[in-house]
């Protein structure tokens, strides 16, 4: 039986822009309400030069725990 563990998605150009200039503001998680696909969506939010929030990366993980948060933050 194959069990889903995690997926990580980040837009390369956003990561390159924010890597040198701005710090990350927020890391948040929310539970999936889909009965077929259970899990947690983690979102990493940064701030652009105009002070607007921008989604830097997101991940879909099996549970909300420290290991999953660290995997998202330390991936790049």
- Separation of alpha carbons 30 and 59, rounded Å: 11
pLDDT average, residue stretch 46-68? 72
pLDDT average, residue stretch 67-75? 56
pLDDT tens, residue by residue, 6-39: 666 777 776 676 666 566 667 777 777 777 777 7
* pLDDT, the chain, mean: 69
| pTM metric for this prediction | 0.58
Q: What is the pLDDT of residue 66?
A: 59
φ, ψ of residue 75 to 5 degrees: the values are -60, -40
Domain boundaries, the chain: 6-73
Q: Per-residue pLDDT for 43 more than 70?
A: yes
């Amino acid at each position: 039986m194959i069990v889903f563990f995690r997926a990580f998605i980040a837009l390369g150009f956003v990561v390159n822009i924010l890597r040198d200039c701005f710090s990350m503001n927020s890391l948040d998680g929310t539970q999936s309400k889909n009965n077929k696909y259970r899990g947690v969506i983690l979102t990493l939010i940064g701030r652009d030069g105009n002070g607007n929030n921008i989604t830097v990366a997101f991940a879909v993980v099996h549970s909300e725990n420290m290991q999953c948060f660290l995997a998202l933050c330390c991936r790049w």
